[in-house]
């Protein structure tokens, strides 16, 4: 019986040494150590042994079982490690390959300019308001002192949706809406940035869609000098402390008096050069004192309240500030153009 056990041990160890597959190894384990395995079969016969032989054979049987178990466990470790190693090799990342460049985006130049202007006016106590881009004829024109037969409506040919609805031609309706919301009871100090639409043929200086920022300040005792002070701060913060402004008389239906604001030319500082077409000044925006009719229509008593308004085009501001000569650049989405300003 001892010889039988030894034979089983040698046979099993030889098979384990030869095997190269975890499944086959498992089969060997079952064949020798399982319930119906050959070692188990031999041990079942121990009952027939004499009481003297039993402990001797029992000890040998245990040694054989341990030897086979250990051989199988060791082999199992070897096979699993080999499998893991193979998998790691297959999945290895070649760190020497050049990486793909990651393009980092940034805000559009117009967005940056608008945010810069917003920050500037928020710093002076203005709130930022928004309004609908599809606007009623009433808020877009009538509430701003432009009745239906007013000739100034021809100046801004519009995209009408219905007879009473149109794509707003300026951001001024937001002012009318805000004043109406405040019911003529409290001061208004706001700017409203947003998209506006006009039936223009696109060229280097015109676009059928562009942006505008309007500002409005209505309170008791607001004067023209307040307007000039605010515009002067705006011009210096936006274009440089060495720039001056001047106001020229102009006409807008919703302000009286109305002015155009120029800033001194960056190149010649007012002497006159080709950039400013010899005038020394560059036109920036329109402004004026809010027309009494506009105040009255919004529920503000023009004998008690007065105010100023201004409107500017962020495209024009950006073009002057960064030397861009074609407004269409803002809308072509050419990344070569746009990414120049990500760090600006």
Q: List interacting residues with Zn ion (CB under 5 A).
A: 265, 267-268, 273, 275-276
Contact 212, 189 (CB under 8 A): no
Query: Considering the complex, what minimum distance in angstroms separates the CB of residue 231 from Zn ion?
Result: 20
Query: What end-to-end distance do the CA atoms of the chain give, in Å?
Result: 93
The smaller minimum CB distance to Zn ion, of residues 143 and 276, is found at 276
The smaller minimum CB distance to Zn ion, of residues 41 and 267, is found at 267
Query: Considering the complex, what minimum distance in angstroms separates the CB of residue 282 from Zn ion?
Result: 8
Nearest residue to Zn ion, scored by beta-carbon proximity: 265
Q: What's the CA gap between 247 and 286, in Å, rounded?
A: 9
Identify the H or E element spanning 230. helix 224-239
* SS3 label, residue 70: helix
SS3 assignment for 99-122 = CCCCCCCCCCHHHHHHHHHHHHHH
Query: Considering the complex, what minimum distance in angstroms separates the CB of residue 331 from Zn ion?
Result: 28
Q: What's the CA gap between 26 and 34, in Å, rounded?
A: 10
The smaller minimum CB distance to Zn ion, of residues 13 and 263, is found at 263
- Please list, in sequence order, all residues whose beta carbon lies within 8 angstroms of the beta carbon of residue 82, skipping any fewer than 6 positions away: none
The smaller minimum CB distance to Zn ion, of residues 87 and 277, is found at 277
The smaller minimum CB distance to Zn ion, of residues 60 and 273, is found at 273
Query: Considering the complex, what minimum distance in angstroms separates the CB of residue 283 from Zn ion?
Result: 13
Q: What's the CA gap between 205 and 82, in Å, rounded?
A: 71
Query: Considering the complex, what minimum distance in angstroms separates the CB of residue 119 from Zn ion?
Result: 28
């Amino acid at each position: 019986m001892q010889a039988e056990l030894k034979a089983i041990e040698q046979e099993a160890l030889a098979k384990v040494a030869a095997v190269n597959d975890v499944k086959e190894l498992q089969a060997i384990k079952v064949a020798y150590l399982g319930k119906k395995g050959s070692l188990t079969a031999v041990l079942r016969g121990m009952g027939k042994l004499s009481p003297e032989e039993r402990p001797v054979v029992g000890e040998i049987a245990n040694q054989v079982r341990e030897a086979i178990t250990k051989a199988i466990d060791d082999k199992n470790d070897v096979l699993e490690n080999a499998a893991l190693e193979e998998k790691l090799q297959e999945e290895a990342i070649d760190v020497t390959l050049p990486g793909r460049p990651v393009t980092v985006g940034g805000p559009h130049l117009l967005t940056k300019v608008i945010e810069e202007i917003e920050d500037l006016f928020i710093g002076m106590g203005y709130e930022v308001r928004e309004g609908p881009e599809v606007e009623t004829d009433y808020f877009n024109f009538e509430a701003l002192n432009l009745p239906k037969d007013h000739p100034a409506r021809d100046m801004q040919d519009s995209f009408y949706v219905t007879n009473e609805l149109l794509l707003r031609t300026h951001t001024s309706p937001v002012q009318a809406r805000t004043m109406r919301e405040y019911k003529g009871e409290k001061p208004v100090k706001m700017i409203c940035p947003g998209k506006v639409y006009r039936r223009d043929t696109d060229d280097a200086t015109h676009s059928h869609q562009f942006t505008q920022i309007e500002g409005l300040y209505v309170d008791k005792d607001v004067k023209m000098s307040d307007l000039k002070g605010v515009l002067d701060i705006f011009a210096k913060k936006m274009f440089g402390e060495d720039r001056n402004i001047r106001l020229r008389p102009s006409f807008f239906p919703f302000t009286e008096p109305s002015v155009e604001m120029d800033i001194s030319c960056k190149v010649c500082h007012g002497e006159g050069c080709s950039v400013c077409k010899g005038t020394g000044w560059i036109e920036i925006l329109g402004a004026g004192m809010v027309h009494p009719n506009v105040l009255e229509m919004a529920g503000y008593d023009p004998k008690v309240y007065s105010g100023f308004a201004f409107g500017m085009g962020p495209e024009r501001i950006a073009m002057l500030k960064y030397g861009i000569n074609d407004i269409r650049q803002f809308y072509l989405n050419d990344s070569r153009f746009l990414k120049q300003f990500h760090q600006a």
